[in-house]
């Protein structure tokens, strides 16, 4: 286990009260855990700005009745086979599907893939969830 260090943080009371309200709502046991998560979140964003490998998930919601959409999405994914780890297809209802694509690779490649998928006609919603491979953060 890593060494723990204590340090002080100066905040306006109003800001601290708002922070405490949020962390209680999110069920943090203490401020330290919440601060650790905020720091990790910033580190992940920084990692995505660098050129190393990162990980993430792309979620898509689309109308599977849209003509040629499935072929377009498959073709795009084949063009990015080097960053796609896996995918899962879920039938939400008769018309709508949810697809989750797990990715790992260079941030630029993953963002290009996410943008191409999002721009496909018939995709109703798309989101890239950025995370880390875990190697650079604790």
Domain that holds residue 24: 13-49
CA torsion through residues 88, 58, 124, 75, sign: negative
CA distance 70 to 72: 5
Rg (CA), the chain: 19
Question: What Å distances lie between residue 99 and 7, 25, 107, 126, 130, CA to CA?
Answer: 44, 30, 20, 9, 16
Give yes or no: residues 29 and 70 share one domain.
no
Based on the domain organization, do 68 and 106 belong to the same domain?
yes
In a domain? residue 2 = no
Kindly state whether residues 37 and 105 are assigned to the same domain. no
pLDDT tens string for the chain (138 positions)?
Answer: 578 888 888 999 999 999 999 999 999 999 999 999 898 888 888 878 877 899 999 999 999 899 999 999 999 999 999 999 999 999 999 999 999 999 999 999 999 999 999 999 999 999 999 888 887 766
For residues 39 and 76, membership in a common domain is answered with: no
Of residues 69, 102, 70, the one with CA closest to residue 85: 102
- In eight-state DSSP terms, residue 18 is H
Count of structural domains, the chain: 2
């Amino acid at each position: 286990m890593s060494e723990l260090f204590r340090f002080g943080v100066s905040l306006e009371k109003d800001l601290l009260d708002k922070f405490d309200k949020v962390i209680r709502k999110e069920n943090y046991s203490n401020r330290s855990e919440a601060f650790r998560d905020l720091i990790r979140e910033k580190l992940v964003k920084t990692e995505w700005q660098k050129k190393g490998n990162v990980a993430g998930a792309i979620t898509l919601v689309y109308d599977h009745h849209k003509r040629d959409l499935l072929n377009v999405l498959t073709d795009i994914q084949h063009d990015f086979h080097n960053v796609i780890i896996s995918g899962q297809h879920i039938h939400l209802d008769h018309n709508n599907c949810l697809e989750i694509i797990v990715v790992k690779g260079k941030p630029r490649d993953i963002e290009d893939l996410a943008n191409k998928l999002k721009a496909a006609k018939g995709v109703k919603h798309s989101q890239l969830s950025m995370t880390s491979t875990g190697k650079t953060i604790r």
